[in-house]
């Protein structure tokens, strides 16, 4: 199986690149952000609770997102592999993911990290906020909070995957096509 963790700060282009990667490698896309937004859209209890946190730019509790990922992995038993987009975001989530994949006799193949500077991230997210309707993209303070959450809780995962020799950093600034080419080259090199 080819199981990729697509990593990077908010607005790094994880969702954008995931779409292209799933088409090329026929992987199942698991985005915790998309799953949470779908819960919000349906007005579920989980969605209502998640919305309060997401609108403030803080992470949703680990047990909630871990449970969501477990049920999605279980629902896709015949998948050739997965792209985990926006998950894991904390060490507890990374450990839970390793444990879950082990029970399926598989594991993470690699972490691909999109590297983008703060100024570019803020510009992209404010720009998306103009027409996306996403409350978390419309306020500079909330965007800054998401970046701080990333630096405090998510960035340490770089070490977690580096220790396992699974980390690759990719320049995330440039055209969507250029970045996709770099990602595909890195995947093809390590997964023949």
Catalytically active residues are: 14, 89, 128, 134, 146
Q: Given the rule CB under 6 A, which of 59-67, 72-80, 104-112, 162-170 is the region that contacts ligand B4P? A: 59-67
Q: How many CB atoms lie within 10 A of CB 46?
A: 16
**If you ran DSSP here, which 8-state letter would residue 132 be given?**
H
145 is a contact residue toward ligand B4P (CB under 6 A)? no
86 is a contact residue toward ligand B4P (CB under 6 A)? yes
**Separation of alpha carbons 140 and 152, rounded Å:** 18
Query: Interaction with ligand B4P in 16-35: which residues (CB under 6 A)?
Result: 16, 32-33
15 is a contact residue toward ligand B4P (CB under 6 A)? yes
CA 36 to chain centre: 12
User: What is the torsion angle, in degrees rounded to the nearest 10, for the CA atoms of residue 157, residue 159, residue 162 and residue 163?
Assistant: -110
Q: How far is the CB of 131 from ligand B4P (least distance, A)?
A: 9
For ligand B4P, which is the closer residue by CB, 72 or 89?
Answer: 89
Listing DSSP states for 47-94 in one string gives: HHHHHHHHHHT-PPPHHHHHHHHHHHHHTTTT-SEEEEES---SHHHH
**Separation of alpha carbons 16 and 176, rounded Å:** 8
Mask: binding to ligand B4P, 38-57, rule CB under 6 A, as x and -?
A: ---------------xx--x
Q: Rule CB under 6 A: which residues touch ligand B4P? A: 8, 10-16, 32-33, 36, 53-54, 57, 59-60, 65, 86-87, 89, 93, 124, 128, 136, 146, 176, 179
């Amino acid at each position: 199986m080819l199981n990729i963790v697509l990593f990077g700060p908010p607005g790094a282009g994880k969702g954008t690149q995931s779409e292209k990667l799933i088409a090329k490698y026929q992987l199942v896309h698991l985005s915790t952000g998309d799953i949470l937004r779908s819960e919000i859209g349906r007005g579920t209890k989980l969605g209502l609770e998640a919305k309060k946190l997401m609108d403030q730019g803080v992470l949703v509790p680990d047990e909630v997102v871990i449970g969501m990922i477990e049920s999605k992995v279980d629902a896709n038993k015949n998948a050739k592999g997965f792209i985990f987009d926006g998950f894991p975001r904390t060490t507890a989530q990374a450990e839970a993911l390793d444990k879950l994949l082990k029970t399926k006799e598989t594991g993470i193949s690699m972490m691909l990290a999109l590297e983008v500077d703060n100024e570019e991230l803020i510009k992209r997210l404010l720009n998306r906020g103009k027409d996306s309707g996403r409350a978390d993209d419309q306020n500079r303070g909330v965007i800054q909070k998401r970046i701080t959450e990333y630096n405090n809780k998510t960035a340490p995962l770089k070490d977690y995957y580096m220790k396992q020799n699974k980390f690759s950093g990719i320049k995330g600034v440039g055209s969507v096509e250029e970045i996709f080419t770099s990602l595909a080259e890195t995947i093809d090199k390590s997964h023949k």
